[in-house]
Structure 1
Amino acid sequence: MKLGISRQALVAALFGAAAVGTLSIAPQILSPEAGAQPIAIQAPAGAPMSFADLIERVEPAVVSVNVVSERKVNNTGDMEEFFEQFRGLPGLDEFLQQRRQQEEEGAEPQTREARSLGSGFFISQDGYIVTNNHVVENAVQIEVVNKDGDEMEAELVGTDPDTDLAVIKVKEKGHYPYVRFGNSHNLRKGDWVVALGNPFGFSGTATAGILSADGRELGNDSPYTDFLQIDAAINRGNSGGPTFDLHGNVVGVNTQILSPTGGSVGIGFAIPAELAQEVTQAIIKNGHVSRGWLGVQIQDLTEDMAEAQGMPNNDGSIIADVTEDSPADKGGLQRGDIILSVNGQKVSDATTTTRLVGRLIANTSNKFDIMRGGKRQTINVVVGERGDNLSAQRIPASALSEGSGENADEATMDSLGVTFVPLDDEMRQRLGLDEDEAGLVILEVEPGGAIEEAGLQRGMVILEANNEPVSSVEVLKKAIDAAKKANRTKVLIAVRVGQITTYRTIDISEDK
């Protein structure tokens, strides 16, 4: 496993964080030879008396990955690693700080050769191997060693630092034993799993345990991965190795541990098989992974918003805006749509939606289950490729200038405590709206009214009420009346603030 702290760590740390990798050969397409079959076994009923049959069958597909890499180092970095075990001694921090300043004023960091050990496994008969990105990072030489001790030179196909996955390929042509990816969603907490790998250089090591948890988030270093947590012993050198279910299917790729000592304490993490398969197939086909881009602005669906839409709970996220000519726009998603699931995976809030979309492979068709106008439907969207700067420029909120609306037709709603003026062409242009966009501009807000309690202010524009464009005060009144007839106490509104659209609710439970 990748350590990343000191040789004698005194505090808990995560090991095996992703880092930027490189590509070294042209992309190739995975195409197993005709008649080739992956390793598969019949799982025993209940708790097995032994894992020996399973391990004996899958072990030939598991390899040790030995890497020679180059890294830039300086003397201070080496000293800090050594002195970490003496952290807390008087004057140590000041001494290291002085050394850092001297390094900054001195020569450039030196390039040194480094050696690392990891694990991997064959996923095709023609020699493709899955491992971790951090195992082969900056590699200048890669060697794999199989169960029988045969050493084979390998080359880098591609990496995906965001998921800490990499694919290498044995240079020598041959017919290699391989395993296949399973489905981690079929596992339940408490199910048996078996991990194989090369911990501390001891190749062919097998450990067993259970699935401790799933859906683990490990911070911003892994934005696209919900990890499996397993208690099968995972140590340094297990990185990139497989975790198997009792059918011999790979359900996870071991990547990180949580440990105060650098050794296993029963908390290991694996990349789910479904994600690993998507990423590795993309690497084999294209040499890299292109992240999905939908082209929407989303926000959490609150309990009040769900109540306004007649939904039983607030699981989901609401689309606040759709970028013109984006994949979402072309696919038919609209402002106000509530995303319930992506490819069958339920959405709980805006964060999970962002993570799910970010994991999608560019130029693939994906199923979005949404709620629109109180009716559930499914829309298929071909996501685009995420670029460096896909966010449209946004102008912050700006109130109406003094004197604005004096000559316009004003309309007051005493029940909400607000005075509106119609949205005109000048305001549409200033707010970045389409020329035919309907809306009501808030001119005055009465203290204590429903509009003020909703946080709305002068200059904001109400575009929709319960999914209906608000072209006049009469339309807004009809939406409120319809909500009351349905025994609802909230109305969902789309509000334009500057060039940003957000959703809020207005309390109509009583006249304010």
Structure 2
Amino acid sequence: MTRHLAPAGWRAAALGVCLVLIAAPSLARGPASVADVAEGLQDAVVNISTTQTLKGTGEPVPGRRGPKGSPFEEFFDDFFDEEDADGMPRKVSSLGSGFVIDPSGLIVTNNHVIEGADEIIINFTDGSKLKVTKILGHDPKTDLALLKVEPKEPLKAVSFGDSGRMRVGDWVMAIGNPFGLGGSVTVGIISATKRDINAGPYDDFLQTDAAINRGNSGGPLFNMDGEVIGVNTAIISRTGGSIGIGFAVPSNSAVKVLDQLKQYGETRRGWLGVHVQNVTDEIAESLGLQEPMGALVAKVAPDGPAAAAGVKASDVILKFDGQVIDNMRDLPRAVVGARIGKDVPLELLRDGKTMDVTVTIGRLPEDEEDEVEEEEEVQDQEDPALPAPDGEDLLGLSIAPLTDALRSKYDIADSVEGVIITGVEPDSPAAQKNVKPGDVIIEVTQEEVRQPQDVVTRLQAVKRSGRGRVLLLLSDAKGELRFVAVPTS
């Protein structure tokens, strides 16, 4: 018999495990098997292969080939064609995962799996294949797509569960097609919920340590009842291999999107018509809030539902349809799921007092027209900066009326009105908050300013009140707004 010796550290660890198992024989066979659950689900999970014709460049495509001598070298050679030397168009194949949600032939996957594909083939575990006859709809914002095939017999399908019931530590199982290895099953736990990974405005991911690799995209994440509670969509990895940080679109979000794709062929999201930002500790202090909460309205679309309801810039939205808005990210998630045309109550904070308004939810415009602005010749001249009266401290700012000459110099849009900042002292309170020359002060402590003296008056009032910070509403040259809380000393 050949005996292999492990490093000492490994032997010590193994001995420790053995001691535990001896002390607790009931654990000797490990955790309960998931074989019964997996066996009933694998037939509904599919391998999705796509083919796309790319215009040739005459250059090889980097990153398409497996490592020399690796087990996957031949696999990559089979699925990624070399670029023709003469730069002729070529076909590129890719692989992903999906799952059947209706026996008649409805299949869910990620949008990025099928985006740009000329042909989509669904490969089933029994070796059969079906060509996708129609993309019923796709949504890049949530990375979901709904496909249609025409089976001769009903397909094995799975159902969605309630992702809202999942808790950190709950067991989950992923089934998919990593590196072309169809039907691979991995098990882990929910590592986090409501995870924001800066992928888009509606980030609300489930995070799991179940192994998810390239090719798992679009596959299902199951709970231990065999229900789909997530659609695997992203991983954090430098190599493309799993390091135990994977993300899935929660089923409660996916179902709403997929229902709309099935019914309309597109998503129809609710729209409030506001741009919001987080209420930081500093902004909360400047507004007189005891703690940061809500979504601070930085801009209101002139023709949007919020404007019609009387919502104003500098309002803080505390509740939407009875749901507490703890931070900025909560608001778009709540609005997007609201029924278009529904009257929804909002609780606002304005001038230190709470108030209620009712807004009728509109439909989010899918296409935004680009604003085209003509470039004007900039004339170089001295800025008419306002000196601080009687040694008055302007937070390290030099300010001036917004004249036509200054509009031209800083390329300020005609729609922007206020007091322009022409200089910022280095290391001043304003400089530390990234306030720059060319920014326009729209409001000071939630009151509009149009002349430099308005700014001075508001700053003096803040200092007399004893507040340690002043809240400025600033606009950049294009009219994008942001709130900044600047220390007064």
1:387 matched to which residue of 2?
Answer: 367
Distance 2:210 2:196 in 1: 19
- Asked if structure 2 preserves the Cα contact closer than 8 Å seen for 1:235 and 1:263, the reply is yes
Secondary structure of the 1:307 match is helix
In the alignment, which residue of structure 1 is the partner of 2:19? none
> 1:490 — aligned with what?
469
Q: Equivalent of 1:77, from 44, 50, 60?
A: 60
Residue 171 of structure 1 aligns with which residue?
150
Q: Deviation digits for residues 173-201 of structure 1, max 9, x if unmatched?
A: 76555433334343222111122234455
The within-5 A match list for 1:147-158 is 151-155=129-133, 156-158=135-137
Give the letter for the 2:364 counterpart: G
Cα gap change, 1:335/1:267 in structure 2, threshold over 3 Å: closer, same or farther?
closer
1:270-285 matched pairs, under 5 angstroms: 270-285=248-263
Alpha-carbon distance in structure 1 between the residues aligned to 2:162 and 2:32: 24
| 1:399-423 Cα shifts (integer Å, max 9, x gaps) | 99879799xxx99687556999999
Alignment TM-score, normalising by the size of structure 2: 0.65
Shift of 1:288: 3.3
Distance 2:431 2:210 in 1: 56
Name the SS of the counterpart of 1:385 in structure 2.
coil
Structure 2 residue identity aligned to 1:230: T
1:258 and 1:110 mapped to 2: Cα distance? 32
Matched, 1:120 2:98: yes
Query: Shift of residue 385 of structure 1?
Result: 1.1
Alignment-derived partner of residue 240 in structure 1: 218
**TM-score computed with the length of structure 1 as normaliser:** 0.63
Match of 2:47 among 65, 81, 94: 65
Equivalent of residue 124 in structure 2, options 145, 163, 174: 145
Q: Does structure 2 conserve the Cα–Cα contact (< 8 Å) formed by 1:224 and 1:358? A: no
Q: Is 2:265 the partner of 1:287?
A: yes
Q: 1:161 to 1:367 in 2, by over 3 A?
A: farther
* Cα displacement (A) at 1:139: 4.3
- 201-210 vs 190-199, which moves further: 201-210
Partners in 1 of 2:149 and 2:423 — Cα distance? 72
Answer yes or no: is the 8 Å Cα contact 1:195–1:243 preserved in 2: yes
Aligned to 2:34: 51
* Deviation (angstroms), 1:309: 0.8
Shift of 1:463: 4.8
Partner of 2:230: 252
Letter in 1 for 2:53: R
The one of 88, 93, 104 equivalent to 1:109 is 88
Shift of 1:245: 1.8
Letter in 2 for 1:494: L
Identity level (%): 33
CA contact (8 A) 1:142 1:153 kept: yes
Equivalent pairs, count: 434
SS at match of 2:102: coil
**CA contact 1:293–1:357 (8 Å) conserved in 2:** no
TM-superposition CA deviations, 1:97-119 (whole Å, max 9, x none): xx99xx8xx744323263x5433
Instruction: Tell me the CA shift for residue 167 of structure 1.
Output: 0.9
CA distance in 2, matches of 1:188, 1:448: 46
SS in structure 1 at match of 2:288: coil
Map Cα deviations across residues 295-353 of structure 1 (whole Å, 9 max, x no partner). 5454554433211111133455533332321344235431112345778585646xx47
State the 1:483 CA deviation.
Answer: 8.0
The verdict on how the C-alpha distance between 1:64 and 1:338 changes in structure 2, with shifts beyond 3 A counting, is same
Segments of 5+ residues of structure 2 without an aligned counterpart are: 1-29, 70-81
Pick one of 143, 149, 161 that aligns with 1:182. Answer: 161
- Alignment equivalent of 1:160, drawn from 128, 139, 142: 139
| CA 493–78 in structure 1, closer or farther in 2 if over 3 Å, else same | closer
Q: 2-side partners of 1:395 and 1:339: how far apart?
A: 37
1:160 Cα offset (Å):
2.7
- Look up the equivalent residue of 2:190 and give its one-letter code: L
**Within-5 A mapping of 1:265-414:** 265-289=243-267, 295-315=273-293, 317-339=295-317, 344=323, 346=325, 348=327, 352=329, 356=333, 370-376=348-354, 377=356, 380=359, 381-389=361-369
Which residues of 2 match residues 23-38 of structure 1 at below 5 A?
Answer: none
Q: CA deviation digits over 1:59-80, x for unaligned, max 9?
A: 55x2313435233275642687
Look up the match of 1:32. none
Matched position secondary structure for 1:492: strand
Whether contact under 8 Å (1:480, 1:508) holds in the other structure is: no
Instruction: Answer yes or no: is the 8 Å Cα contact 1:361–1:383 preserved in 2.
Output: no
Q: Which residue of 2 aligns with 1:196?
A: 175
Give the 3 Å change call, closer, same or farther, for CA 413–311 of structure 1 in structure 2: farther
Aligned partners of 2:268 and 2:363 also within 8 Å? no
Whole-angstrom CA distance in 2 between matches of 1:254 and 1:77: 30
- Contact 1:126–1:173 at 8 Å: present in 2 too? no
What SS class does the counterpart of residue 123 from structure 1 fall into? Answer: strand
Whichever residue aligns with residue 166 of structure 2, its letter is L
Alpha-carbon RMSD across the aligned residues, in angstroms, is 5.4
Amino acid at match of 1:208: V
Return closer, same or farther for 1:375/1:182 CA change in 2, 3 Å cut-off: farther
Judging changes above 3 Å, is the alpha-carbon distance between structure 1 residues 395 and 259 closer, same or farther for their aligned structure 2 residues? same
